[in-house]
Amino acid sequence: MNMSSSHKKIVIVGGSFGGINAAYALRRRLGDQAEITLISRDAAFTFLPSLPWVILGWRDPARLQVPLDSTLTRRGVRFVHGEVRELYPDKGEVRTESATFPYDILLIASGAELDWAAVPGLGPAAGHIQSTFTVEEAVCARQALARVIAGESGRIVVGATAGASCIGPAYEIAMMIDTVLRKAKQRHQFTLSFITPEPFLGHFGVGGIGMAPRMIEDEFADRDIEPIVDAKIVEARPDRLVLQDGCERRFDFSLVIPAFLGAGFVRGVEGLANPRGFVSVTSQLTSPKFENIYAVGVAVAIPPPGKTLVPVAVPKTGHMTELMAHAAVHNIVAELHGGTKVDGLALPATCIADAGDTAFYLYADPFLPPRNKVIHKKGKWARYLKLVFEKYYLARIRHDWPPLHFGW
């Protein structure tokens, strides 16, 4: 495919890390040569890594959001608040519930849907299992946790279902709850269990990162957090989680990370996605079947590097998603203007996992093994770094500050 660069219609689906960074980068690099439209079901960008802090009462969720409409419009990007319902690659169109948007190039950064239905009784809608993927869910979880802690004793269960990928927040929440209880001198009055499909703590769907699993295992031991690995949750009842082996964990407060599904409009297109609805891409982040469709972030299908007894999916961190977005933009510009394209999958990833009184800094390059470089450190400095990064990143989104140099 070789396009002329004159006034192309570029549609981006999704307004989180991948979508908004791609929109900014495309406008900077293409100027008025493209008509850029971003469609998002959310009216605001939310700094999702800080939602666990909302659950602990350490953040005002309003301070973690940036309105998309005014922010994008000031930069010449058309914003549409709506949900894409249908995609027609043969026509070059996406459709919301009320309008049709033609495109020359489509970039899918739609994230994922939460597969609560995979486990009977799971999910906030049932009223007894909390979650952390929206501001509303985090606020609800905060209220539920506060009620249990006010009761001065109880059973707390945090974990993830089979096929989950974004397990990191569960680790953070478990350790942060432990920190709060210790500071209140109530820890001895609560049990704290961690249920995970991973074969060992710190696996993260990628076989672990260096010696980080040992660090996390030691941390859980010091904190008296009961780990239950290779676990498959098969049912959620009002007061307990039932595992496939018949074991149960009763709770007064429970938060569970579900598996993800690709967006519904993606699942409806034959040949675009895998059975779970995640977009299959080449190393250049384009669909093998539809060359003018790109995908980045959670929407992308990345096979696990190895099999596990219970399925564990590969996570895509915010850092990794942004890198993919910039790689996709580079390749779109190369397609329009000519130039060498880059590999958008062999990317590094950085993660800072807060533990309440300390934090873990993890870096892997590339994210999937075997790796060229691994860094894993623990300390209060990492917690302060995460605090500072939140403020920096939100300011960057508000003001469209140029990103760090990504090497292309």
- List domains and CATH numbers for the chain: 8-114+260-345 (3.50.50.100), 118-258 (3.50.50.60)
- What is the DSSP secondary-structure string of 229-279? -S--EEEEETTEEEETTS-EEE-SEEEEEPPEE--HHHHTSTTTB-TTSPB
Give the predicted TM-score (pTM) of the model. Answer: 0.95
- Whether residue 153 contacts residue 190, with contact meaning beta carbons closer than 8 Å, is answered with yes
Average pLDDT, the chain: 95
Q: Which of 44, 353, 5, 17 is nearest to 213 (CA)?
A: 353
Report whether pLDDT(405) > 60. Answer: no
Q: Using the structure block, give the residue that is written with the tokens 């969720």.
A: 61
* Per-residue pLDDT, 404: 63
How many Å apart are CA 257 and CA 169, to the nearest integer? Answer: 8
Q: DSSP character for 130?
A: B
Q: Which of 48, 23, 70 is nearest to 390 (CA)?
A: 48
- Whether residue 368 contacts residue 358, with contact meaning beta carbons closer than 8 Å, is answered with no
- Whether residue 225 contacts residue 174, with contact meaning beta carbons closer than 8 Å, is answered with yes
Segment 145-185, tens digit of pLDDT: 999 999 989 999 999 999 999 999 999 999 999 999 999 99
- Whether residue 165 contacts residue 313, with contact meaning beta carbons closer than 8 Å, is answered with yes
* Per-residue pLDDT, 126: 81
More confident residue, 271 or 407: 271
Report whether pLDDT(124) > 90. Answer: no
- What is the DSSP secondary-structure string of 109-121? ----EE-GGGSTT
How many Å apart are CA 230 and CA 210, to the nearest integer? Answer: 20
Report whether pLDDT(2) > 50. Answer: no
Quick one: how far is CA 207 from the chain centroid? 18
The token pair that represents 359 in the structure block: 């934090």
Candidate list 166, 215, 259, 279, residue with the active-site label: 166
Dihedral of alpha carbons 305, 309, 311, 313, sign: negative
How many Å apart are CA 143 and CA 69, to the nearest integer? Answer: 30
Q: Which helix (H) or strand (E) holds 106?
A: strand 105-108
Candidate list 351, 359, 364, 382, residue with the active-site label: 351
Segment 42-87, tens digit of pLDDT: 999 999 999 999 999 999 999 999 999 999 999 999 999 999 999 9
- Give mean pLDDT, residues 237-265: 97
Q: Any catalytic annotation for residue 166?
A: yes
Q: Which residues contact 237 (CB under 8 A, 6 or more apart)?
A: 121, 128
- Whether residue 282 contacts residue 302, with contact meaning beta carbons closer than 8 Å, is answered with no
